[in-house]
Chains A and B, each alone.
Chain A
Amino acid sequence: MNLALRDVRRHIARFVGTAAGLGLLLSVVVAMQGIYAGMVDDATILTRAMRADLWLVQRDTVGPFAEASRLDPSVEARASAVPGVRRARPYNYQLIQREHRGAVLRIALVGLGWPDDPGHTLPLVRGRHLAQPHGEMIVDASLGLGLGESLVLAGEPYRVVGLTRNALTSGGDSVAFMTVGDTQLVAFDQSAEATLLERQRVVERLRRTDLGRGQPALEDLARDPRWRAPALASPPLAAVLIDADPHRIAEVQATVRRWGDVTVYTQGEEETLLLSGVVQRARMQIGLFTVILTLTAAIIVMMIMYNLTLEKTHDIAVLKLMGAPRGRLLGLVLQQAWLLGVLGYAVAYAIGELLFPMFPRRVLITTAISVIAPIATLGIVTLASVVGLSHVMRIDPASALEG
């Protein structure tokens, strides 16, 4: 006969109520961990989505996310030539803020190397990858733009052709992916006045050089409104991504490290760089909250288990008098603690399924969380029943006769 269940049956409403309370508390603990995991995931999604083996950034910077990085475009060609490199892709990253339909949009622009990288590595939820080198973009659904909608950047419309989910920066800004060329156009957007002045400067330079004097047609070309003068000789890249032969990554890394103008990071290092800033601080805070909440839950369960045992003191004394084996009485307390834990966890699980998707920040229940949470719950309720167990041990069977 299971004594624990018999006792619970007698006070079922109270027991379920207690389990529900514990469940709420557990759901908060799990939510904290889930929010943290969501932050980590958000923070690293940018690097992970690119699926590169190595990131080349400006020498002695921790770019391109934590700080600005400017690489000469020639790095792409140089990297391609390194033995062991399968492919080198240009990459750009920058934050912009624009008004669209009356709302302020903060967008992190990520440039993909065209035509090698039309966004195949991105987890699209709707739409398609980039199909042309200019005027298309893939944006995160959190931006609120629909498929086919156009956003005007640097005076030109960019059409949304694909949507991702959870492509956010560690600051929570939504990401838009376009070709590197387009990001450079947007980044080095010039006013008409600046273009005219630049054009004028080119014409004057042509007139001063033998080349210009010998080829008057060049001057006409420079005056053509369709011609865009570059603001810089050639716009820099934020990074160059390298896909290497799997077994030659270290070799490629060693080669590139000798170059004077770049610093090279592995995919893992780049993720760590992203995490070390914003997320590291959040980790401390959330870790602390988790510890406090876990302790609170443990203490509450401890009090509950102690009270449940305390009010059964006489019953337990009677059972002891009858010669009940010790294991049966300890089992009574332990099994109730476990039942409380299981019910509490079930409540927390249900809350998670129902409410977490409505949270403003993403709650990511990783495999680790979904494995550790129930085990930890079981551990907590087991530990918390120690006080109850020691009370059971101390009950004197003779006290049953005094009742």
Chain B
Amino acid sequence: MTDAVRAVNLSKTYGAGAAAVVALDKVDLTLPQGTVAALLGPSGSGKSTLIKALGFVSPGDTGEVFFEGRLVVKDGRPLADLAQLRRRHLGFVFQKANLTSFLTARENVEIACEFGGKTDGRRRARELLDYLEVAHREHAYPEMLSGGEQQRVAIARALANEPSLILADEPTAALDSVRSRSVMELFRKVAHDRGAAVLVVTHDHRALDVFDVLYEMEDGRIRPSAHRSV
């Protein structure tokens, strides 16, 4: 099984001097394909910073990030077209206001298919919405969707380009525990059915049994979670 993404000795500091905040401190992390991993940790521990670095959005200051075995970012310098990498191989889901407000549910998925170079985006978008059981809302704008529906559309969109890596930053923060759990189970299903690596930042400890691996962050450092045994 190949690694979807691998971070080696990844560090990131915000600010400088006395105000400097070390958000990532020599992080090593490997996510194999087909696994769903949770990223836990207190507020300010660096979870979002790690998601941005692994998602090739804001690179770290030092260290290396490999994507599917290929070195893509070294010491903050991109060695490939990162936007292209994102649109072809990555999917993002985040807390809220995930969707493009002026596109309908279906169009939100369709545009991701288009960016990902997928032909027949409309049909594919319908299939994905169907897979996530929101096909009946395909013509609705995001503001007309419930939080759970929005999140499911966002997940459909994250799947549109058949990504090798899905990064989700607190995707269930706006949902009740029942819906939250069903979203987590969906991630598991996606990882296991489609072979993608999924990394989910969550504070919700009730759904941790869904994950294959748990990581915990503290002060910018990462370690396998103690909750593993739960």
Contacts and interface: CB of A to CB of B under 8 A. Distances in A.
Interface of A: 1, 3, 6-7, 9-11, 312, 314-315, 318-326, 328, 396-398, 400-401, 403
Given A315-B100, A401-B48, A321 B107 contact: no
Interface stretch (B71-79, B83-91, B129-137, B183-191): B83-91
A323 B56 CA distance: 10
A323 B87 contact: yes
B98 A318 contact: yes
Interface bin, chain B:
35 or more
Contacts of B216: none
B110 interface: yes
Interface of B: 48, 51-52, 55, 57-58, 82-88, 90, 92, 94-103, 107, 110-112, 114-115, 121, 141, 157, 169
B102 A1 contact: no
A321 B167 CA distance: 11
Contacts of A326: 83
A319 B98 CA distance: 10
B200 to A, nearest CB: 14
Given A321-B92, A398-B52, A7 B87 contact: no
Nearest to A318: B100
Contacts of A319: 100, 111
Contacts of A322: 86-87, 92, 111-112, 115, 157
10 contacts: A3-B103, A314-B101, A319-B111, A322-B86, A323-B86, A323-B87, A323-B90, A325-B87, A401-B92, A401-B95
A223 B13 CA distance: 120
Contacts of B115: 322-325, 328
A318 B158 CA distance: 12
Contacts, number: 80
B94 A403 contact: yes
A254 B157 CA distance: 83
Contacts of A318: 97-100
A323 B94 contact: no
B86 A1 contact: no
Contacts of A398: 52, 57-58
Contacts of B52: 398, 401
Contact of A321 (B86, B88, B101, B103): B86
Contact of B111 (A3, A314, A320): A3
Contacts of A7: 102
Contacts of A315: 100-102
A397 to B, nearest CB: 5
Contacts of A328: 115
A320 B58 CA distance: 12
A7 to B, nearest CB: 4
B87 A324 contact: yes
A400 B95 CA distance: 10
Contacts of B48: 401
A364 B177 CA distance: 71
A397 B53 CA distance: 12
